[in-house]
Copies of this chain bind each other. A is one copy, B any other.
Amino acid sequence: MTDEALATALESALGRTFGLFRSLSQPSGLSMTAAATLSTLERNGPCRLTALAAREGVTQPAMTQLITRLADAGLVCREADPADGRVVRVSITGEGRATLARRRGRRAEKLAGILARLSPGHRAALAAALPALDALASMDPTSTKEYD
């Protein structure tokens, strides 16, 4: 399978999972961007605001606003960079981790119910692809670095 064919098929499949993925959570609660941002912070540690915006595919003002909301909710913490007075370093708080864990538990429960209806072979294939999906999720869309 060519890279181009893989990319096309993957774009299509992931795009179509979007609705299912959204239906895992009640409309109240964290937005997709908020959850993804918290996840990124949990996984990669403190991060600049602009880098977060690029990572999550939103504009810088959108990320400023999101971080303001998350900070007001106590889920993230903004700190000044001692070496550069312009930058804001954002990190996840304990409460942020706890919120994320609770959300993940609730969503995983629903997702498990859906996965149970897949064939065992499909479940095994998904399990085998987890490291690759994780690597894909960690890619920086702007970077040109090779091999995750």
Contact = CB atoms under 8 A, between A and B. Distances in A.
A17 B128 contact: no
Interface residues on A, range: 35 or more
Interface string A1-44: 10110111111111111111111100100001101110110010
Contacts of A58: 19, 22
Count of identical protomers in the assembly? 2
A117 interface: yes
Contacts of A122: 131-132, 135-136, 148
A117 B3 CA distance: 11
A80 interface: no
A105 B32 CA distance: 25
Contact of A139 (B43, B56, B117): B117
A136 B119 contact: no
Interface of A: 1, 3-4, 6-24, 27, 32-33, 35-37, 39-40, 43, 54-59, 104-105, 107-112, 114-119, 121-123, 125-139, 141, 143-148
23 contacts: A1-B127, A3-B116, A4-B109, A8-B105, A9-B130, A10-B130, A10-B133, A11-B107, A12-B39, A13-B137, A14-B133, A15-B21, A16-B43, A19-B57, A24-B57, A114-B139, A117-B139, A117-B143, A117-B146, A118-B132, A118-B136, A125-B129, A129-B133
